[in-house]
Structure 1
Amino acid sequence: MKAQSTSQEKVTPLAKHLRAGKVYRREDLVPYSTSVDRELQQLVVAGRLTKAAQGLYYAPRKSVFGDAPPAESDLLAAFLKDKEFLSFNPSVYNSLRLGTTQLYNKTIVYNHKRHCVIKLDHRSYDFRMKHRFPRPNQVTVEYLLVDMLNNLSELAEDEEMVLERAQKKLNQFDAKKLTKALADFGSVATKRMLNTWLSASNHATEPKGALNE
């Protein structure tokens, strides 16, 4: 009984505070320890914590495959100190079926606070500050088209081929949703190009003589 009591007494307030799968910033753990840096180092060595980046830690979740990282959304929220962001892999543009085929080993994070490329838990993240971007559950194919055109010069694709296919398949997208996504999120160049395409498409579908009525 005494051994059990002694073991419990060694559990510090910081260690008691930790929850599997949770992400912590060093500054948030200071109130739980009189020597936070030393204790964090000890917890990392003991496997209770994993260091994801400078000043950023998480308590691993146990699984049948061993220690598991936290949810990516929790890691990004803790790093940014903000839950307003949109993360995605550029490979998602392939779902538009406009001829893009490349697979990318990076994650882009639109956010309001940080502009940098950094590794978090050995994964590379490209943080880009933007004033506006949709919530994850509001991402539409029309938004993806606008965003792909915004970033087309960065992609390892044949730009002329992608643009040609996008223009030919423009009628497959919802015109109202596309117009709104363009107004809300399009770059100046993307707005100019897509508006030209939309105007040409509208003229092409007008019945003969409509302009003279």
Structure 2
Amino acid sequence: MAQTEQIREKLRPGKVYRREDLEQYSSSVDRDLSNLVQEGALRKAARGVYYVPRKTAFGQAPPEDKELVRGFLKDNRFLLTSPNAYNSLGVGTTQLYNQPVVYNHKRHGTFKLGNRSYSFRVKPHFPKQVTEEFLLVDLVNNLAQLAENGEEVLARAADKAKEMDGPKLRAAVRQYGNVRTQKLFSSFLQNTP
């Protein structure tokens, strides 16, 4: 049990740990991790990924989404967003989606981390932070996956594009738009500075 205690001393609430991060503290890391999970000191988020629950006014909670994704990917280069963010653009999207989207360079697919599913999408380029320009380009990239009427949203997106900063939007379209999106935006922005 001494090795289990040695691992326990390293654990911090709200932090994510990979099995390989903890194996240096134990000669039987799998047994010790299993013991810590059984007693509730650790929770399993995914295969080889664990987290220490953080205490909140409502009880125990998983770590922040960014911390969980960072631990799962073993990488800081990702953008965590959600189709819910499109609603802030004012282009007619109103649906609420329960699955965050993670743009990254390593993993593609839907993965369950803890109690929540995340849609991981490999992209060569994405910003460090969500901008209004990126959101509009991303909305048009993903139009077919939205619950709203695509034609109506697209018409409002075209109007929104004309109101936005032309050079910034053009740069976002070049960097983040797929071929179809780039063609659509070239028609949207044809007569704008």
TM-score by length of 1: 0.86
- Among residues 171, 178, 183, which one is paired with 1:192 in the alignment? 183
Bigger relative contact order, structure 1 or 2 (CA pairs below 8 A, ≥6 apart): 2
Q: How does 1:117-156 map to 2 (within 5 A)?
A: 117-136=110-129, 139-156=130-147
Q: Give runs of aligned pairs for residues 22-171 of structure 1, distance below 5 A.
A: 22-136=15-129, 139-171=130-162
SS of 1:12's equivalent in the other structure is helix
- Contact kept? 2:144, 2:150, Cα under 8 Å: yes
C-alpha separation in 2, matches of 1:162 and 1:65: 38
Q: 2 CA distance for matches of 1:168 and 1:13? A: 60
Normalization by structure 2: what TM-score? 0.94
**How far apart in 1 are the matches of 2:101 and 2:56?**
28
Q: How far is 1:10 from its partner?
A: 8.1
* C-alpha distance 96-39 of structure 1, shift in aligned 2 (>3 A): same
Which structure's residues are more often helix, by fraction? Answer: 1
> Is residue 2:176 matched to residue 1:176?
no
The answer to whether the aligner puts 1:21 opposite 2:21 as a matched pair is no
Task: Report the alpha carbon displacement of residue 188 of structure 1 after superposing the two structures with TM.
Answer: 0.6
Deviation at 1:101, TM superposition (A): 1.2
Other structure's SS at 1:82 match: coil
2: CA distance, partners of 1:113 / 1:172: 35
* CA distance in structure 2 between the aligned counterparts of 1:192 and 1:124, rounded to whole angstroms: 32
